[in-house]
């Protein structure tokens, strides 16, 4: 049996895009190894007997220390692949960072296929950090070199593909795979039906500023003044989560806020989502958020849960006003009003959720996975 190695600087059990690529590899008949940030024993149980996970513990940091984290993980992966370069027929690297693909240098030198998935726009993401603009042009160069190094390139949507072809990647070498959620995950969890008084609002994602969790909290305070019997469930972790938790502890409405911290895995996040009445995606508008596909929003639609999201270009690509509520990006008052509208007219919100699910289904998760599988099968000897 041929072997493939997946490399991802993420906690894979929380990263459905990487999980889907791993499962696609296994379904194509590969024996799969994966190097990631943490021990993914639960993912291993779900993945099957042909998948083996290795983990690399890396401490968290910001700014320059974040670059050191990337470098440390890169070095660990580089030596891991050097010691096993003859075991694998292909290496599948998932960004960020883009330069992680060079950890497969020994495999490339040995004639193995190198696959690169630009799952995020690293130059745009890092430019939002403090002093990040200083690194934008160098990271564009890294992006170009990473693409030239790779035999096959995937990205997240058509606009991302066009951007890469314009600045980094030779045309015809990149293919986009949309972040459509696997519909099977929603079948494994019972849909919540309203049989009680009060509403539950749900947020899952990063506490970083661009994702707007602080705006969601301000909006929740406004909503609570008009609709007292409402609760807010928050699943978040990483950068900024401690600050958010301190703010909640000082709040007058803290008894109505359930802070669950970082979700342990993707399955449990979906389980919490299915128990919600309304979900939020309150992103601020940045160069990155205006172009990125929000997996969370697509999951809200797949779970048939009504949702309020920021009015951003990529989200408008999937949904219209008849399928969800759009609030003005970065404006907590607009967000609060849309939440109130959704809860006060909940039967209409449920109809919007049904239409959103139908809109999502036309993109077909299985067609997206076939794009991975077609290439993976083509490189088998």
Give the tens place of pLDDT for each residue, 26-42: 999 899 999 988 654 44
Domains defined for the chain, CATH in brackets: 3-180+364-378 (3.40.50.2000), 184-361 (3.40.50.2000)
Spell out the alpha helix ranges (H) of the chain: 16-27, 41-47, 64-84, 105-109, 122-127, 136-149, 158-167, 184-187, 213-226, 241-250, 266-273, 295-302, 313-318, 332-344, 346-361, 365-378
Pair 312, 289: CB distance under 8 Å: yes
Q: Is 113 left (phi over 0), alpha (psi -120 to 50) or beta?
A: beta
pLDDT value, residue 41: 45
Give the tens place of pLDDT for each residue, 360-374: 988 889 999 999 999
Give the tens place of pLDDT for each residue, 334-348: 999 999 999 999 999
Give the tens place of pLDDT for each residue, 244-302: 888 888 888 788 888 887 766 677 788 888 889 999 999 998 878 877 778 889 999 99
Q: What percent of the chain has pLDDT over 90?
A: 46
**Order of strands across the sheet that contains 199-204:** 257-259, 230-235, 199-204, 278-281, 307-310, 325-327
- Considering the chain, what is the average pLDDT of its residues? 85
Which has the higher per-residue pLDDT, 171 or 130?
171
């Amino acid at each position: 049996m041929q072997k493939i190695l997946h490399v991802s600087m993420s906690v894979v059990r929380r990263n459905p895009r990487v999980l889907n690529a791993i499962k696609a590899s296994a379904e194509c008949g590969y024996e799969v190894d994966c190097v990631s940030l943490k021990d993914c024993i639960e993912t291993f149980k779900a993945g099957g007997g042909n998948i083996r996970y290795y983990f690399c513990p890396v401490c968290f940091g910001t700014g320059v220390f974040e670059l050191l984290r990337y470098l440390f993980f890169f070095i660990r992966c580089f030596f891991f692949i050097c010691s096993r370069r003859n075991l694998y027929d292909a290496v599948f690297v998932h960004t960020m960072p883009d330069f992680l693909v060079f950890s497969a240098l020994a495999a490339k030198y040995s004639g193995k296929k190198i696959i690169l998935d630009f799952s995020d726009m690293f130059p745009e993401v890092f430019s939002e950090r403090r002093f990040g603009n200083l690194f934008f042009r160098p990271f564009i160069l890294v992006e170009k070199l990473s693409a030239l190094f790779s035999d096959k390139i995937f990205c997240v949507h058509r606009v991302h593909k066009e951007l890469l072809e314009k600045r980094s990647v030779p045309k015809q070498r990149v293919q986009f795979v949309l972040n459509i959620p696997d519909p099977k995950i929603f079948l494994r969890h019972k849909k919540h039906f309203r049989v009680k008084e009060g509403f539950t609002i749900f947020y899952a994602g990063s506490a970083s500023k661009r994702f707007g969790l602080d705006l969601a909290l301000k909006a929740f305070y406004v909503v609570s003044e008009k609709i007292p019997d409402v609760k807010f469930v928050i699943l978040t972790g990483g950068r900024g989560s401690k600050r958010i938790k301190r703010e909640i502890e000082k709040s007058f409405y803290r008894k109505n806020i359930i802070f669950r911290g970082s979700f342990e895995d993707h399955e449990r996040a979906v389980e919490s989502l299915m128990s919600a009445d309304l979900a939020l995606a309150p992103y601020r508008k940045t160069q990155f958020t205006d172009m990125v596909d929000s997996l969370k929003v697509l999951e809200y639609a797949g779970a048939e849960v009504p949702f309020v999201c920021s009015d951003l270009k990529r989200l408008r690509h999937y949904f219209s006003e008849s399928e969800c509520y759009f609030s003005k990006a970065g404006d907590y008052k607009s967000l609060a009003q849309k939440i109130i509208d959704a809860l006060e007219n909940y039967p209409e919100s449920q109809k919007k959720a049904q239409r959103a699910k139908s809109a999502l289904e036309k993109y077909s998760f299985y067609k997206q996975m076939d794009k991975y599988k077609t290439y993976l099968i083509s490189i088998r000897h």
